[in-house]
């Protein structure tokens, strides 16, 4: 695939973009206006000087709150987040000279205006996340520029910044005009997006402290449970491995396993921990404990059974949304019996028998619900079953239940349900999940393989069953499964027929967005003037999706070469003699600088650093000494010790190791694109070189 594109200046800078109208900014005039209670409807476009703060701070044309209100008034999602963080940073910094005036502004802000600001920070409505909806793996964060969107725990930086700002805002505001219930709901959503369970619990408790306890309804309780048990894809960062029930999580005092099996699973856990460079999915307050170590508990305040009883005692109205959340929350502790009896049997009248043996499972019953019943099943229930049963690796049982509910209540199975089943099946058929499940013994109902992945793929794509059009994420699983099964020709055909044409559309979208950003920057006039944030956000979205897709294709080709090299029949057959040379010749854009593979004659190493079709995406490699992360040992090592149940007990951990680490340093993407320098002759210079390098990545 051709990688080089004509420089954007050849065709773009000589004409005006369709998305920009050239307007020269006129000089602004200072206006002294009256200052009262702030609200969006009376927000002035012209700068305002507030004389009443003259004794605190010299007058300014525009404060941080002014900038935020203007962005909210214009519904400019590209500026709302930046303005909100700048404003709350001033509110949190008590040593800043701007702090007293900012606090006074906040206390004088009307309740509807503040609610409108908070509503714009809803993580489910945000349109300014350049990596929205993408699963950023640890490997992708190391090899691509998408790593800039997450912190060391693998959580989006923007979500934790918004959460910190909201906590500061709520702490100051509660001393004045109280907040509304909807404000606390958005706070809990941001706590879930930032994977901060303590903050979610605080927001729920603050509702009662602010006098709104009687106003807590089913919707608010549902939002708290979603955030506390990570039931939404946004809350587990679109990475299902974070909330999947591992074989090690199934060990309990009432359901013990053989000591040798437990020791083998612990060794696997310690090995993974030693290889992990960053503390992904760890709690910031307890670095040696995985998040699922808490979620898998069934008792005490962390288990969902207590919350289920609390919801019943609150007297809240039960609806389908709360039941869907309960299915996912029960699955975090692998409570299949609770899902079967307390939800499907009690509320839907669906009887599930012999669930441990998929060949003998029977599903019967089902109540009739009126059209206006809040419990009437919809597609949301099918998605909850796919997510809940998939997280417990009960894929066959979940598929049977989905098909039964679909036929019983005439609900078509949407694409999202099929995609969820496909993702969960592939996750538990891959390492280390599949190896750990096999160590438990013969558990046919929860042990998945690549054959099961292909069965789900065939069911979702057949016209007689799913009849859905797979997306790129679905093809990603399909191609990786074909490579596991050593069907390299089918995998290459899928890459060539679907993935590469799809990637070509992403290149076109990225080049269009980049060209428009350059033209909008030039339209503002002057050298080194950046384009508006909306243009930058559009380019960053296209850029991030392109880099994400490129990384997946690179991993496919790398695995394809690895599979062919490791199998003698493939090396000696047409795949080794024809497919590999053609791949290296035609798809060098997706291959590294040094391509290594094995043929029937021996090992081949191709140094391609002088090849024009190759684009170096790394600045280099960085070596450093690191210490492995702490990891707690199992409870059998402290059984019988005095004080082992106390919160402050010194739990034994594995010995740390010192590791020499080599990490890639990816090339950075441009934060903002500025206008080309005026008066430059030709298409040479640092600006043109930087632009061409960005287009080549």
Outline where DSSP puts E strands in 450-505.
Answer: none
Range 293-321 average pLDDT = 84
Residue-wise over 442-474: b if at least 16 C-beta within 10 A, else e? eeebbbbbbebbbebbebbbeeeebebebebbb
Render pLDDT for 250-283 as a digit per residue (tens, 0 to 9). 887 667 788 888 889 999 999 998 988 888 888 8
* Residue 186 pLDDT class (50, 70, 90 cuts): very high
Residue 48, pLDDT score: 41
Half-sphere exposure (Cβ direction) of 500: Cα atoms closer than 13 Å: 18
pLDDT digits (tens, 9 = 90+) for 210-258: 888 888 899 999 999 999 999 999 999 999 999 999 988 888 766 778 8
Euclidean distance between CA atoms 572 and 412, whole angstroms:
47
Burial of 219 per CB tally in 10 Å (0-12, 13-18, 19+) = middle
What is the mean pLDDT of the segment spanning 366-373?
94
467 CB-near residues (< 8 Å, 6+ apart):
461
pLDDT at 150 over 90: yes
Q: Virtual CA dihedral for 104, 108, 111, 114, nearest 10 degrees? A: -50
Q: With pLDDT > 70 as the criterion, what percentage of the chain qualifies?
A: 89
Q: What per-residue confidence (pLDDT) applies to 17? A: 33
Higher pLDDT, 639 or 621: 621
pLDDT digits (tens, 9 = 90+) for 89-117: 999 999 999 999 999 999 999 999 999 99
Whether 34 shows a pLDDT value over 70: the answer reads no
Q: Give the least confident one: 169-178, 388-397, 622-631.
A: 169-178
Residue 16 half-sphere exposure, CB side, CA atoms within 13 Å?
A: 8
Residue 221, CA distances (Å) to 15, 215, 229, 319, 374 in order: 55, 11, 12, 12, 16
pLDDT surpassing 90 at residue 190:
yes
Please, which pLDDT band fits residue 60 given cuts at 50, 70 and 90?
low
pLDDT at 8 exceeding the cut of 70: no
State how far Cα 685 lies from the chain centre: 38
Kindly list the distances between the CA atom of residue 465 and the CA atoms of 113, 401, 469, 479, in Å, as whole numbers in the listed order: 50, 15, 12, 21
- Nearest Cα neighbor of 428 from 444, 445, 448, 443 is 448
Q: Quick one: pLDDT band at residue 31, thresholds 50, 70, 90?
A: very low
Domain ranges of the chain: 62-238, 488-696
Write the DSSP assignment of 29-40 as a string of letters. Answer: --B-----SB-S
Mean of per-residue pLDDT scores for the chain: 86
Q: What is the Cα–Cα distance from 66 to 8, expressed in whole angstroms?
A: 37
Mean pLDDT, residues 606-615 taken together: 74
Q: Which two tokens stand for residue 509?
A: 């979208």
Q: In whole angstroms, what is the distance from residue 264 CA to residue 272 CA? A: 13
Least confident of 286-300, 307-321, 379-393: 286-300
Q: What is the pLDDT of residue 652?
A: 86
Distances (CA, A) of 473 to 240, 378, 479, 486: 13, 25, 10, 20
Which three-class secondary structure state does DSSP give residue 143? helix
Q: Residue 547 is encoded by which pair of tokens?
A: 């880099």
Cite the DSSP H helix spans in 567-647.
568-572, 574, 580-586
> How far apart are alpha carbons 339 and 331 in whole angstroms?
8
Segment 50-73 shows an average pLDDT of: 71
Q: Which residues contact 80 (CB under 8 A, 6 or more apart)?
A: 68, 71, 72, 120, 121, 128
User: At 23, is the pLDDT very low, low, confident or very high (cuts 50, 70, 90)?
Assistant: very low
Q: What's the first-to-final CA gap in the chain, in angstroms?
A: 14
Q: How far is CA 416 from the centre of its chain?
A: 16
Tell me the pLDDT tens digit for each residue of 546-580: 999 999 999 999 999 999 999 999 999 999 999 99
For 56-87, b/e burial (b = at least 16 CB within 10 A) is: ebeeeeebbbbbbbbbbeeebbbbbbbbbbeb
CA–CA dist 365, 341 (Å, integer): 13
pLDDT in tens, 395-420: 999 999 999 999 999 999 999 999 99
Give the pLDDT score at 515: 93
Q: How far apart are CA 148 and CA 669, in angstroms?
A: 10
Q: How many CB atoms lie within 10 A of CB 300?
A: 9
- The CA distance from 311 to 219, in Å, is 12
């Amino acid at each position: 695939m051709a990688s080089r594109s004509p420089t954007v200046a050849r065709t773009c800078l000589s004409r005006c973009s369709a998305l920009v109208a050239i307007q020269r900014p006129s000089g602004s005039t200072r206006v002294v206006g009256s200052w009262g209670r702030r609200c969006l409807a009376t927000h002035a476009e012209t700068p305002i000087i507030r004389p009443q703060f003259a004794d605190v701070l010299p007058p300014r044309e525009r404060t941080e709150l002014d900038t935020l209100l203007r962005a909210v008034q214009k519904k400019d999602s590209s500026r709302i987040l930046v303005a909100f963080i700048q404003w709350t940073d001033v509110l949190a910094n008590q040593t800043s000279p701007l702090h007293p005036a900012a606090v006074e502004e906040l206390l004088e802000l009307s309740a509807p205006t503040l609610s409108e600001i908070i509503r714009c920070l809803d993580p489910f409505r945000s349109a300014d996340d350049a990596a929205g909806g993408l699963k950023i793996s640890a490997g992708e964060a190391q090899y691509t520029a998408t790593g800039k969107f997450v912190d060391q725990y693998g959580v989006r930086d923007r979500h934790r910044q918004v959460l910190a700002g909201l906590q500061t805002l709520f702490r100051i505001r509660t001393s004045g005009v109280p907040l509304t219930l909807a404000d606390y709901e958005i706070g809990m959503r941001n706590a879930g997006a930032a994977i901060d369970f303590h903050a979610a619990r605080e927001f729920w408790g603050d509702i009662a402290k602010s006098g709104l306890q009687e106003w807590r309804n089913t919707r608010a309780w549902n939002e708290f449970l979603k955030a506390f048990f990570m039931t939404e894809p946004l809350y587990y960062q679109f990475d299902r491995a974070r909330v999947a029930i591992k074989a090690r999580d199934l060990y309990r005092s009432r359901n013990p396993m053989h000591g040798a099996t437990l020791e083998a699973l612990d060794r696997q856990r310690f090995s993974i921990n030693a290889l992990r460079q960053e503390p992904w999915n760890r709690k910031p307050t307890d670095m040696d404990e995985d998040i699922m170590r808490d979620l898998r508990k069934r008792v005490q305040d962390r288990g969902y059974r207590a919350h289920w009883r609390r919801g019943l005692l609150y007297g809240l109205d039960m609806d389908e949304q709360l039941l869907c959340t309960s299915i996912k929350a029960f699955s975090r502790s692998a409570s299949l019996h609770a899902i079967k009896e307390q939800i499907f049997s009690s509320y839907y009248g669906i009887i599930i028998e012999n669930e441990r043996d998929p060949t003998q499972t029977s599903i019967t019953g089902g109540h009739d619900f009126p059209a206006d019943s809040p419990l009437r099943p919809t597609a949301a229930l099918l998605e909850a079953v796919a997510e809940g049963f998939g997280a417990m690796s009960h894929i066959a049982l979940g598929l049977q239940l989905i098909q039964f509910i679909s036929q019983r209540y005439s609900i078509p199975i949407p694409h999202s349900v099929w995609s969820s089943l496909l993702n969960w099946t592939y996750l538990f058929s891959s390492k280390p999940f599949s190896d750990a499940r096999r160590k438990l013994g013969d558990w046919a109902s929860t042990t998945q393989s690549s054959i099961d992945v292909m069965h789900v793929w065939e069911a979702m794509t057949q016209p007689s069953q799913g009849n859905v059009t797979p997306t790129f994420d679905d093809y990603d699983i399909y191609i990786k499964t074909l490579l596991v099964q050593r069907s390299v020709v089918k995998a290459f055909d899928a890459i060539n027929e679907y993935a590469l044409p799809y990637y070509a559309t992403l290149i076109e979208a990225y080049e269009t967005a980049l060209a428009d950003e350059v033209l909008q920057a030039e339209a503002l006039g002057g050298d080194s003037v950046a384009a508006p944030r909306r243009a930058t956000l559009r380019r960053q979205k296209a850029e991030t999706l392109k880099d994400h897709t490129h990384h997946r294709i690179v991993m496919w080709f790398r695995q394809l070469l690895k599979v062919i090299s490791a199998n003698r029949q493939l090396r000696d057959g047409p795949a080794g003699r024809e497919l590999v040379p053609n791949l290296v010749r035609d798809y060098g854009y997706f291959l590294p600088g040094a391509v290594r593979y094995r043929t029937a004659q021996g090992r081949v190493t191709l140094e391609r650093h002088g090849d024009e079709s190759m684009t170096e995406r790394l600045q280099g490699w960085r070596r450093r000494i690191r210490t492995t992360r702490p990891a707690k040992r199992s409870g059998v090592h402290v059984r019988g010790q005095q004080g082992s149940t106390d919160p402050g007990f010194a739990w034994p951990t594995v010995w740390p190791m010192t590791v020499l680490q080599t990490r890639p340093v990816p090339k950075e993407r441009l934060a903002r694109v500025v206008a080309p320098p005026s008066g430059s002759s030709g298409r040479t210079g640092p600006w043109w070189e930087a632009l061409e390098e960005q287009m080549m990545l």
